[in-house]
Structure 1
Amino acid sequence: MEDIYPLTPMQKLMLLHTLSSPDSDVLIDQFRCTLCGSMNIPAFQAAWHRVVRRHTIFRTLFLWEGLHEPVQVVRQEATLPWEFYDLRGMPESDQETIVSRSQQERQNQGFILTQAPLMQVTLFQLSDHRFELIWTFHHLIADGWCHSLVLQEVFQSYGASARGVALDETPTVPYLSYIAWLQQRDHEEARAFWREYLAGFTEPTLAIPNSQIRMRNTAGFREYQTALTPEDTQQIGRSTRGHQVTLTCLLQAAWSFVLARHTQKNDIVSGSTVSGRPLDLPGVESMIGMLINNIPIRVRVDRDRPVAMWLREQQQKQLEMREYEYMPLGDILQCSTIKRGSPLFESLVVVENYPVGQLAQQQDAGFRIENIRDNLKTGYPITIVAIPGAELQFRVLYHEELFSVPDIRQLAEDLLTMLRTLAKGEAETVGEAIACIPARTELLRFPFPATEQKALPALRLSPSTDTERTIEAVLGEYLQLEAIACDEHFFDLGCTSLLLVEIHARLQKELSRTFPLVDMFTYPTIEALARHLTPASMAEKPSKVASASNRGQMQREAMNRQRQLMLKKK
């Protein structure tokens, strides 16, 4: 073992999601591309192994059993699972069938979180000068911003080796540096910011009944693609420079206006994915790890406000927010006045400003990269992904249980219309901009019932102890249910990982005891959790208590190392 330290808040949520939904592949990321040119396969494999040796996050595993808080452990060594298949001579259709099947199997297989590394690389040779690369990893150890960083290092390493040039051995910035940075933040100041930012917002913009229950089937996600013309894309570039706003700010404004038009609301909150890479952390731009975060963007629609002035004000608000965007969404949710059990937002906006294709082609590696694909998935009913380029492209991810294809197509077209209107300056006021698209409230009017009560079994298992009754009361308050059977699964009732974080904090207060958050996911019924929390249950597990004690000592030693690290930085 090389090191041990706690998880970031985002990692903790991801771990909890994995534990609560072991069959879900939503956190299994895959990057696939075609490589064209000559390749020294052993040297290419060695370049990937070098990346694992250099970055601690690729030698990291996760432990949680018997611990009050989960930890991540860095091994001194870890062997990258590598597979190579020579498919030369096969018909192209057979090659694609084999590659796609292997990709799906790898995604379905997932990873054992207690084993490192949580990544795997598969290379298929299709012809003498054509290869298909699939890089699979768990979202716990890396995010989309790492695609270009890892590929850059792999190609640079491979190119240097092929030319017989000495490799760059500049030390990497370990993920621990980010965790130490997080621990130095003023979290009370951040909570005060988010409380003020979200004050008075009480109802989600998209009030989708039982959206989390309906999205339990991750196979129900679909994707719609569209794009702006090169001329419109160039106009947007001129507009953002003229207004001194970012593409993210303009896109968030356009999507908020679309929501305002169709929901007839003037207080809009949607989500935004941020890189989570703080400007004051040295070397963070090259750090490999899970740093992204999803945060709420609140837009108050003042229809009489001049568009140019309104956009600059929104940009200023987003700049002020940067100092606090590290705050995990679960904590932000607790700072809000949204009614319990409701999400802060149900739509997400993402700008992918990491051009992997151009980056890879700049490397003197002897081949070029083509046909880049990923398996982007989110846990939100609708996600807007913008991909900058000569033509600004859009991927709209949505769940078919909640949106129809015609509705998504119309929403996407309305978004493009709004972007053109803002970019061309065709509206002087916010109200005129919003009026550029017809009001279609039926697009976001969900036809299914507001509540879906699951029929209780004939012999309903009712709470019979004080602990069970307390758990039922807290769950009922957050889920707005009058009665809950003791054997009903928390997630079948409509709980989410974020909501269980809130419920866990409340239960500790009501029960006057502390217990690990992971217990909410390991024992996801009233009966199981109550039995686990009884003194007799705890006494029956001396080995785990001893194990927890040993690991607790390891955690304390790790904290001492972190403190020494922070003192050196000061």
Structure 2
Amino acid sequence: APRTPQEALLAEIVGRVLARPPVAIDDHFFDLGGDSIRSIALVSQAAEAGIRFSIADVFSQPTVRQLVALAAARPSQPDAQAVQPLAMLAEHDRLLLGDTVQDAYPLSTLQLAMIYHNERDPSAAIYHDVFSYHIRFAPDLAVLREAARQLVARHDALRTSFDLSSYSVPLQLVHADGAELLEIVDIAQLTEAQQEAYVLQAFQQEKARPFDIGRLPLMRLKLMVRDAGSVQLLMSFHHAIIDGWSDVLLLTELFTLYHALLRGEAVPPPPRTRYRDFIALERATLASPAARDYWLDTFDGMPQRAPQAAQRERRNVVVLPVAVPADASARLHALAGAHSLPLKSFLLAVHLKVMALLSGSDEVSTAMVASGRPETADGDKVVGLFINSVPLRAALGEGSFVDLARLAMRIEADLLPHRRFPLGEIKALLGRPELGESLFYFTHYHIAAGLRELGIELLRLTPHEASSFPLVANFWLDPFSSQLHASVATDEDAYGEPQRQRIAGYYGRALARLLEAPLAPHREAQLLGADELTLDR
């Protein structure tokens, strides 16, 4: 039990963040269901209570006892000041802004990269994401329209366009007024087969309809009323304005606003944190000698090789599912709890093991998606593009899959203070264009579970996501069932069909081996398929 007022306060905060009773001072944050997004809420709420530590600290010292002791041992520092509107603009750029623009600031490095890849070939729909949700829901359409309008008013990202050439640097412009996002179509008169055909056609048309980055909106919603009790919602957006957590946040908030308006209830104020705060954090990281030294030291002495393939004008993405046992999620949670490691670390261990096989070396380099959200009270509630693909270097060595998971967590904990240094800038700093040919991505959008409390039931989800990475290993926990899913997305031109199928098989077998024998030497895991073993003999 807590021994001091500070420990009692932090234990209460941990319990609130994780939606559980107050915890003991030696309970492990990740054992209790903590993750990187929940860490933002923990860090920010603790700071408001006068207990200051970082997300990196949560990874390295994840108990109430450790965090209170760490915070007490550090000298107090003044609170970071929020960035004011237009503060990052040169004076002559401010004078060029029109009356309809209420804020403007430079683009992040990743925003520029996404715009580049998307503009290079809009027909490939790279970084143009489309999600089609079949939902059991009977809305009042007028109220839903108003909820969509309020959603735009609450979030700067939905009122943002890009101007790459009119100012001294490329800028994103936040307009005072947004555009209508929601289009409503009634298809209830169609048969079920005709509805499915209509929905599929709408999905394909939206995928083929590029965004004009200089005009609003850069997100579109289309609601198709299927019958008295269900709708199809098509959500399409330019990835440069929002990340994966943000699109789920927007979906959840849309229906939260709808129910509040329907019942005449008040809604929470919009987040105080703004996307410009993240831009300032990224720029500070780019100027940090410690961050530069970290990335230089991390890859010092690692043999360099030519990139896998030259850039192409077109990238066709093929997504293959990975076989995941039905009880994998429960078994991984139990394994994570038994060894006080995040579930994510075990999945990253699987990825590292497959990368070692594909590269033919225990010295592995790959990239991992990390969140750079501000560690503020509402940093998990602001909408924008906060992710970065950070490169990892891992020497797998001997040991078990549990040891690989420990290695994965240690690597992530070490890089967290420097996670906002953009991948493109790291490549340039190191002179290593081959970094980032493969990507590991783990998501658990647990906020979507709140849709059930609003009476919203998701019947089916059809996604389209395409990136510029030749190989992406995706792992995600279903927010409703907590079921683990996995897929491998590959560049069609970089990998042939047999190779794609084999790679998906490697992930499935590595995951199965981890679950069967987590303490057995990972070198004993046989990842090759029967066809390859036959060829080998």
Using structure 2 for the length normalisation, give the TM-score: 0.74
State the shift of 1:369 in Å. Answer: 2.5
Provide the secondary structure at the position in 1 that maps to 2:327.
Answer: helix
Rounded Cα–Cα distance in structure 2 between residues aligned with 1:81 and 1:156: 17
What does the per-residue CA deviation read over 1:449-502, in whole Å, with 9 as the maximum and x for residues that have no partner?
xxxxxxxxxxxxxxxxxxxxxxxxxxxxxxxxxxxxxxxxxxxxxxxxxxxxxx
- Is 2:287 aligned against 1:196? no
The within-5 A match list for 1:13-162 is 13-162=113-262
The within-5 A match list for 1:431-442 is 431-432=523-524, 435-438=525-528
Identity %: 23
Rounded Cα–Cα distance in structure 2 between residues aligned with 1:319 and 1:423: 24
The correspondence for 1:372, drawn from 451, 457, 461, is 461
State the shift of 1:73 in Å. Answer: 1.0
Provide the secondary structure at the position in 2 that maps to 1:377.
Answer: coil
Provide the secondary structure at the position in 1 that maps to 2:237.
Answer: strand
- Is 2:264 aligned against 1:164? yes
Rounded Cα–Cα distance in structure 2 between residues aligned with 1:74 and 1:101: 32
Instruction: Give the conservation status (yes or no) of the 8 Å contact 1:202–1:337.
Output: no
Give the corresponding residue for 2:420.
326
- Is 2:476 aligned against 1:387? yes
Instruction: Give the conservation status (yes or no) of the 8 Å contact 1:148–1:359.
Output: no
Instruction: Give the conservation status (yes or no) of the 8 Å contact 2:323–2:505.
Output: no
Instruction: Give the conservation status (yes or no) of the 8 Å contact 1:60–1:74.
Output: yes
Q: Deviating runs (4+, > 6 A) in structure 1? A: 439-443
Rounded Cα–Cα distance in structure 1 between residues aligned with 2:178 and 2:168: 27
State the shift of 1:357 in Å. Answer: 4.8
Provide the secondary structure at the position in 2 that maps to 1:145.
Answer: helix
Give the corresponding residue for 1:224.
320
Pair 1:440–1:196, CA change in 2 (3 A):
farther
State the shift of 1:16 in Å. Answer: 2.7
Rounded Cα–Cα distance in structure 2 between residues aligned with 1:127 and 1:308: 50
Give the corresponding residue for 1:249.
345
Rounded Cα–Cα distance in structure 2 between residues aligned with 1:83 and 1:172: 29
Give the corresponding residue for 1:463.
none
Provide the secondary structure at the position in 1 that maps to 2:380.
Answer: helix
- Is 2:395 aligned against 1:295? no
Rounded Cα–Cα distance in structure 2 between residues aligned with 1:31 and 1:404: 27
Instruction: Give the conservation status (yes or no) of the 8 Å contact 1:87–1:124.
Output: yes
Rounded Cα–Cα distance in structure 1 between residues aligned with 2:401 and 2:486: 24
Instruction: Give the conservation status (yes or no) of the 8 Å contact 2:184–2:223.
Output: yes
Provide the secondary structure at the position in 2 that maps to 1:270.
Answer: strand
Number of equivalenced pairs? 429
Provide the secondary structure at the position in 2 that maps to 1:125.
Answer: strand
- Is 2:430 aligned against 1:336? yes
Rounded Cα–Cα distance in structure 1 between residues aligned with 2:366 and 2:530: 19
Structure 2's unaligned 5+ residue stretches are 1-100
Rounded Cα–Cα distance in structure 1 between residues aligned with 2:153 and 2:115: 24
Instruction: Give the conservation status (yes or no) of the 8 Å contact 1:160–1:167.
Output: yes
373-382 or 396-405, which deviates more? 396-405
Using structure 1 for the length normalisation, give the TM-score: 0.70
Give the corresponding residue for 2:359.
263
Give the corresponding residue for 2:105.
5
State the shift of 1:405 in Å. Answer: 3.2
The correspondence for 1:177, drawn from 277, 297, 309, is 277
142-151 or 407-416, which deviates more? 407-416
Instruction: Give the conservation status (yes or no) of the 8 Å contact 1:229–1:391.
Output: no
Provide the secondary structure at the position in 2 that maps to 1:137.
Answer: strand
Question: Could you tell me which amino acid in structure 2 is paired with residue 48 of structure 1?
Answer: A
The within-5 A match list for 1:410-429 is 410-425=502-517, 427-429=519-521
Pair 1:404–1:64, CA change in 2 (3 A):
closer
Give the corresponding residue for 1:346.
437
Rounded Cα–Cα distance in structure 2 between residues aligned with 1:419 and 1:195: 32
Pair 1:426–1:245, CA change in 2 (3 A):
closer
Pair 1:310–1:113, CA change in 2 (3 A):
closer
Question: Could you tell me which amino acid in structure 2 is paired with residue 56 of structure 1?
Answer: D
What does the per-residue CA deviation read over 1:322-371, in whole Å, with 9 as the maximum and x for residues that have no partner?
11111111111123353xxx4213221111211465232122xx442221
Give the corresponding residue for 1:362.
453
Instruction: Give the conservation status (yes or no) of the 8 Å contact 2:148–2:182.
Output: no
What does the per-residue CA deviation read over 1:150-196, in whole Å, with 9 as the maximum and x for residues that have no partner?
12211111011112223333554321222233333352211110111
Instruction: Give the conservation status (yes or no) of the 8 Å contact 1:30–1:375.
Output: yes
Which structure: larger Rg? 1
Give the corresponding residue for 2:329.
233
Give the corresponding residue for 1:398.
490
Instruction: Give the conservation status (yes or no) of the 8 Å contact 1:122–1:135.
Output: yes
Rounded Cα–Cα distance in structure 2 between residues aligned with 1:169 and 1:228: 41
Pair 1:68–1:15, CA change in 2 (3 A):
farther
Give the corresponding residue for 1:494.
none
- Is 2:373 aligned against 1:277? yes
Pair 1:247–1:369, CA change in 2 (3 A):
same
Give the corresponding residue for 2:38.
none
Question: Could you tell me which amino acid in structure 1 is paired with residue 393 of structure 2?
Answer: R
Give the corresponding residue for 1:316.
410
Pair 1:22–1:416, CA change in 2 (3 A):
closer
Give the corresponding residue for 2:76.
none
Pair 1:102–1:288, CA change in 2 (3 A):
same
Rounded Cα–Cα distance in structure 2 between residues aligned with 1:251 and 1:44: 39
Instruction: Give the conservation status (yes or no) of the 8 Å contact 1:146–1:289.
Output: yes
Question: Could you tell me which amino acid in structure 2 is paired with residue 346 of structure 1?
Answer: E
